[in-house]
Structure formats: C-alpha cells, structure tokens
C-alpha cells in the first residue's frame, strides 16, 4: 500500500486532521522563504500536542522536517528539539551533508529537462531505509512547493531501484494516475490539499487519501462552508 505524506503543515488542527484521516507521514517546512514555513518552536508545540492523537490512532506516523540548505548541525538540533523522525533535504545539499546528519536524512531530487538523473543518484547515495529519495519537479530558482508536475517517466526509473516519495503537483484528481504510472513507495502533497498556502482543506485531504489508497474514508459532517472557513 502506498504511503501518503501531507506536507507543509503549520497548525495543530490540520496536523491532527491529517493523522485522523490516515496520513503516514507529516511534513513541517523550516525553509523561511516558503509560504508554509513553521518555526521550530511552533513545530515543537504541535508535535507535543499531537502525541495524544498519534497514540490514539494506533499507527506509526513519521514526522518529517523539510530543510533547504541548513547547516547539518542545525538540522540535527531541530530534529532533536522538535521530536522529528526524518530530515528531508530539499536544497543543494551534498552527500557529505547527508552523512553528517546521519540515517534520518534523505535527499529531494528535482527533475527537469536538464536534469541528469543518473548523475543525481550517483552524487547523492540512497538511504538504506525508506524513503531513499523524494522526487519533485525542477523549477529554476525554486526548492519545491511549486505545484508543477514532476517528470513521471524519470521518476518511474528511480522507483524501479529505490523506494521513493513522489511529489510535484499531485492532487486528488491525478494522484491515482501518478501512482499507477510511477509505482512509488509513497506520495507527497502540499498545495494540492490546501485552501490557502499553509492551510489545509479537510475535504481535499480526505479525497486525496481516498484516491491514493484506493478506498473510502469516513467523511464527517463538517457543517456549512462559510467565507471565514
């Protein structure tokens, strides 16, 4: 069964909803230029409050910090301080950076027309545990979160050898097709389940989960939608 990562969480309500819906991984973005940025202090507070919800779910939910060109020692400190399990390196980090952080770190690869896939994999060795990589769309000057589709053909080549997370422009409408074509270990979504950047839409989260897992979630009555959300 494919895993689902809801990324760019910025508040407890959305994080708890993600766990309740059935997310396997939750992502918190520490890149200051991202519209989904969260401070380590706010993330730590959410994780502490979320512990009860995760325990009640009876499932293993992995917590992922998303970093862009942070010094390795800062990544390690934030992981420990916030109680996170994995570090997703979405910048221009090197193999040495991954080694200094340790087995919790995995690399995001941005696939574009000019990306040499083999060179990227050779430059960044895969983790021994899943996920080995995250594959995202390559947009010059941007470090993910673009809403653009990744190159599924190239991603399928990676998925044939390594357990990867597929990101890049996934939505409730296209995630089932992406899974069928790429056969990834998991899928990663942020903008495709949002009402505004950094604020998730519970109905979109449910629809994404249904499409990704090939099942129906228990949709709850959330009352009428208002202009205030």
Contacts of 141 (CB under 8 A, 6+ apart): none
Are 171 and 209 contacting, i.e. CB atoms less than 8 angstroms apart?
A: no
**Token pair for 123:** 């430059």
Phi, psi for 11 (deg, rounded to 5): -150, 160
- Site of tokens 């129906």: 216
Phi, psi for 59 (deg, rounded to 5): -120, 160
Q: Answer yes or no: 14 catalytic.
A: no
Print burial letters for 93-106: b (CB count within 10 Å at least 16), e (below 16): beeebbeebeebbb
Query: How far is 56 from 79, CA to CA, in rounded Å?
Result: 23
Phi, psi for 111 (deg, rounded to 5): -95, 120
Catalytic residue, chosen from 14, 24, 97, 136, is 136
- Give CA torsion, residues 158, 160, 161, 164, to 10 deg: 50
Q: Answer yes or no: 227 catalytic.
A: no
Instruction: Catalogue the active-site residues.
Output: 7, 136
């Amino acid at each position: 069964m494919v895993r689902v990562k809801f990324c760019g969480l910025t508040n407890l309500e959305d994080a708890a909803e993600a766990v309740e819906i059935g997310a396997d991984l939750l992502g918190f973005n520490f890149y200051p230029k991202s519209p989904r940025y969260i401070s380590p202090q706010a993330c730590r507070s959410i994780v502490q409050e979320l512990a009860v919800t995760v325990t009640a779910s009876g499932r293993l939910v992995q917590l992922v910090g998303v970093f862009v060109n942070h010094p390795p020692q800062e990544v390690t400190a934030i992981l420990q301080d916030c109680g996170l399990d994995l570090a997703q390196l979405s910048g221009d980090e090197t193999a040495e950076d991954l080694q200094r952080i340790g087995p919790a770190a995995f690399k995001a690869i941005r696939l574009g027309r000019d990306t040499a896939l083999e060179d990227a994999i050779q430059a960044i060795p895969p983790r021994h545990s899943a996920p080995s990589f995250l594959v995202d769309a390559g947009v010059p000057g941007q470090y993910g979160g673009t809403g653009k589709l990744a190159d599924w053909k190239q991603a399928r080549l990676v998925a044939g050898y390594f357990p990867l997370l597929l990101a890049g422009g996934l939505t409730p409408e296209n995630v089932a097709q992406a899974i069928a074509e790429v056969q990834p270990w998991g899928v990663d979504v942020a903008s495709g389940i949002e009402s505004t950047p950094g604020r998730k839409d519970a109905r979109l989260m449910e629809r994404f989960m249904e499409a990704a897992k090939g099942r129906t979630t228990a949709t709850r009555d959330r009352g009428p939608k208002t202009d205030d959300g």
